[in-house]
Amino acid sequence: MRESLFGGRSRLLAVPCLLIAGYSSGAAAEWFFRGTPNNWSATALESAGGTEYTTCQSFASGGDPRFKIDRYADWAESYPAADFAVTGNKSYEITFDSGSHSISVSEVASCDGGSGGFASNFPSLYFRGTPNGWGSSSMQLVADNIWELTVAFDGQPDQRYKLDLYGDWSQDYGDNNGDGVLEAGGGDIPASVSGTYLLRVDDSDLSYELVGESNGGGTDSWYFRGTANGWAATEMSSSDGINFCTEQSFASGDAGGGPRFKIDHHGDWVESYPTADYSVNANTDYEICFDADSHDITATAVGTPPPPPPVGEGSDFRSETIYFLLTARFYDGDQSNNYYNRDRIMPGDPHWRGDFKGLIEKLDYIVDLGFSAIWITPPVENRSGLDYHGYHAYDWTRVDPRLESPGATYQDFIDAAHARGLKVIQDVVVNHSSQYGIRDQVWIDHLPIKYYVPEGSSQGMISNNPYFDNLGDYQSTFRDDNDNPLAPQWFRDRHTSDPDGTEPLVDPKTGVTVPLAGYDPNRFFGIDAGNLDPAWYHLDGFMAGGDWENPTALQNKHMAGDTIDLATGNQNVKDYINGAIKQYLDMGVDAIRVDTVKHVERDELLSYVHEWQAHKPDLFVFGEALVFGLGFGSELGNDNASAVIRPWWFTRTGADPSNPQGDSDLAVIDFPLFSTFRDNVTRGSFGGVKGALDMDWTYADPTELVTFFQNHDVGPDNDFKYRFGGAEQDAALAYNLLWTIRGIPTLYYGEEIMFQAGLGQDIHSANDTIDQTGRAYFGPHLDDLATTQSHNLYRHIQRLNQIRHAVPALQKGQMEKVSEWGAGMSFVRNDSSGNSYAVVGLAAGSDQGISVSGVPNGSYTDVVTGAQLQVNNGSLTFTVKAYSAGIYVLNGSGKIGTDGAYLR
């Protein structure tokens, strides 16, 4: 469940792999410009003498033009406190005083990018296209009338771009004729290329060109393009510069015909072979080789990809990889249990749409991806105006009927998952209930919702399909879903009568008669925080302002009007929740994820966890202690809150937050590592990853951390709230990291195809509906498996799962010899107990040489390429291709899986 987002310092956008000349990390720059003109990246300021620094920047008119000045380009110290706003469509000379931290701006005619005042017809020029997610990337004036920018194209289908004068689409240029000359308002410019290219525009005659940049050594390049990779450009490997080979897995083809391919010189379709597509058999893997001299092609069938390894035996959950989904949004197997909440209605898309019947039908999809555990949102019965996600519990002892069908109950789902080798993780809420109270346990005072009449309206005028006449529950006979038997008699009488909500009802609290237009909405939808039952609830009011970093407030106040803070220290609350959870453990639930753990005092929470583990020995439990940034607590360093609300604290039992001690047997989700992703992997870099890993000593067992790239609450963007919308290869980079470092990797549904890329994970504005968010319904993609399962990232994650399941060191090994340099990373995973040892090298946007010393002598095999190396001097050296990984396993058995767009 999402907690409120406070304290966001930066506004760094998730940008694809767009290569723009910037500052060198080797320079001694101290102060940097970060703002909308450079997509919040770091541009070094120039010293003007003394304490003054300057830069010239051109701001587009759209996107709320603004900036900050950042010391050391790490967001640890930046000015001013709020972003410095300027007028768009203008250029400014910006001066910063490092002594007083004052900022002054002076409007200038244009910025020449430090290139000496070159003449130009354009005041500015921006690149916008698929490589940068149609963002605005400023081009540089490098000579009279000449603008340039280096762009990385990934060879995906339908690549295209345009040039935009101000970065706001007010005056853009395309090419209608494909003649290399721009036209104002012209069409998108297609780019059937792969690799790094220099885009050059001459604004005197509007000519433009893409110039391929050398990849080093002048080596020839041939690319596979076919149905197996969606006609993208996959570089083939060669040891002699003549014979080029690749392994590809073919499904059933595409709309243009059966499975087939071509070999393309340079990946630009200028020269390709054969003349007609080369056809192969469906559902078959091939070793494809091409002779660059004779242009002969051979395709040798090598069998189908090996099935995902079986689920690991035993209780060690580190062997698993997790697929996380919102059950109500995954797949609809039974339309009869669909349900619209009364808030955020989109006709045709019920909030409660997916169900256990649909999930059972699609379990093979999750198995095919290679996952061994499935994490579902809370299945217990919920009540609120927007409860499809399951985090507004009303009855912990019952499964919500909107998820079940005859023959497809929760028990049926658990049994079906186990039959396919999948473990089931149930999401559990301990911290709060819905505003309806808890059925059979505690009543929270309300008026029946059917009597609510908005200001300026009259009863019977509601028309919000399927809620007609009033907002009472449209599926209940008497338009009321608050069936708590502990309700007072007057409420129970109305629960079974007056569906139209027209019979006068006196509010026993105020004496006012309803229905009455504009009468206090809080009496229908809110709570009186001071008059709750103290046996069940805290009475400290609602969270506000600084409460989010205050342990006492955080653990005693209500997060929102539909999340009412339970008195979790009371024995009656413990008995009720623990009794319900044991019921699900007895049904076969294999693990528990606990929501909002930092809202419950640690030892109090552990009393719940340990009772569950006593009931089911070796039960794996992990919790959500949300934090943005490398927050490890004020007692350990630079943090604005105590460690007692930071993730590591909940894995420990010691009483001193400055001295991590003990093991609580509760794992946590790795939010600190995730918080670095907005600045590194989403930008094609590993910079800062080691800083997070260096704090692993605070956790009881970092190999049990549950790692992730995005989830239902947060994304790896500057505001932590959007599904990743950057370059596909950067997502692959993130997964290479997560599947090889310590921790248990988790994938949120749809990541495997960049589902809803760039959209908010949850509703953010007054009129959002969930189909416009990262929680949209996934069904259409499960109905078109041929397309979904051929996606580059689907195949990438599938292979990563195969590799991780086969190498115990990647599951349980300690991290050793960690080295990170932005463009690459290396480390060792050493599982001494399981006699498994792996040396890992990761590459970002360029090939990387990896060298790790102090490793055991012996024979190492790379499970990615099959390469074998013999170590006799304790040092292992190898090369990893861009966006790929080298995983050299001591005494390894060989290559695992088949090459894809990234792992190769």
pLDDT band of residue 638 (cuts 50, 70, 90) is confident
Say how far apart CA 629 and CA 50 lie, in whole Å: 33
Say how far apart CA 492 and CA 514 lie, in whole Å: 16
CATH assignment of 31-108, given 2.60.40.10, 3.40.120.10, 3.40.50.720, 2.30.30.830? 2.60.40.10
634 Cβ contact partners less than 8 Å away, ≥ 6 residues apart: 640, 641, 642, 643
Three-state SS for 520-540 is: CCHHHHCCCCCCCCCCCECCC
pLDDT band of residue 101 (cuts 50, 70, 90) is confident
> Percent of the chain, pLDDT > 70?
93
pTM for this entry? 0.69
Q: Is the pLDDT of residue 311 over 50?
A: no
What pLDDT score does 536 carry?
98
Q: Where are the domains of the chain?
A: 31-108, 126-212, 222-303, 317-431+568-805, 812-890
CB 250 within 8 A of CB 280: yes
Assigned token pair, 408: 């497809």
Q: What is the mean pLDDT of the chain?
A: 89
Say how far apart CA 62 and CA 128 lie, in whole Å: 14
Fold of 317-431+568-805: TIM Barrel (3.20.20)
Q: Which residue has the tokens 């070159």?
A: 118
pLDDT band of residue 383 (cuts 50, 70, 90) is very high
Mean pLDDT confidence for 350-379: 97
Asked whether this chain's domains 31-108 and 317-431+568-805 adopt the same fold, the reply is: no
Mean pLDDT confidence for 854-866: 96
Torsion angles phi and psi, residue 797, rounded to 5: -70, -35
pLDDT band of residue 75 (cuts 50, 70, 90) is confident
- How many angstroms from the chain centroid is the CA of residue 39? 20
DSSP 92: E
What separation in angstroms does the CA of 101 have from each of 29, 31, 79, 98, 639? 17, 11, 7, 5, 22
Assigned token pair, 783: 């109905």
Say how far apart CA 316 and CA 374 lie, in whole Å: 16
Fold of 222-303: Immunoglobulin-like (2.60.40)
pLDDT band of residue 271 (cuts 50, 70, 90) is confident
Lowest mean pLDDT among 151-155, 406-410, 529-533, 665-669: 151-155
Assigned token pair, 624: 């959500």
Q: Are strands 146-154 and 189-190 parallel, antiparallel or unpaired?
A: unpaired
Mean pLDDT confidence for 297-316: 59
Assigned token pair, 367: 């198995």
pLDDT band of residue 57 (cuts 50, 70, 90) is confident
- How many angstroms from the chain centroid is the CA of residue 778? 16
What separation in angstroms does the CA of 32 have from each of 23, 269, 717? 9, 41, 20
In CATH, the architecture of 812-890 is: Sandwich (2.60)
DSSP 405: B
Q: Is the pLDDT of residue 631 over 90?
A: no
What pLDDT score does 365 carry?
96
Mean pLDDT confidence for 749-777: 95
Say how far apart CA 328 and CA 389 lie, in whole Å: 7
pLDDT band of residue 117 (cuts 50, 70, 90) is low
Is the sign of the CA dihedral 533, 534, 535, 536 positive or negative?
A: positive
Q: Is the pLDDT of residue 437 over 90?
A: yes
Describe the crossing of helices 571-587 and 410-419 by its angle, rounded to 10 degrees: 50
Q: Are strands 824-831 and 836-843 parallel, antiparallel or unpaired?
A: antiparallel
In CATH, the architecture of 126-212 is: Sandwich (2.60)
Three-state SS for 623-679 is: ECCCCCCCCCCCCCCCCCCCHHHCHHHHHCCCCCCCCCCCCCCCEEECHHHHHHCCC
**pLDDT tens digits, 725-756:** 999 999 999 999 999 999 999 999 999 999 99
Closest listed residue to residue 897, CA positions, set 810, 798, 789, 811: 798
Closest listed residue to residue 403, CA positions, set 378, 439, 436: 378
Assigned token pair, 582: 């044991």
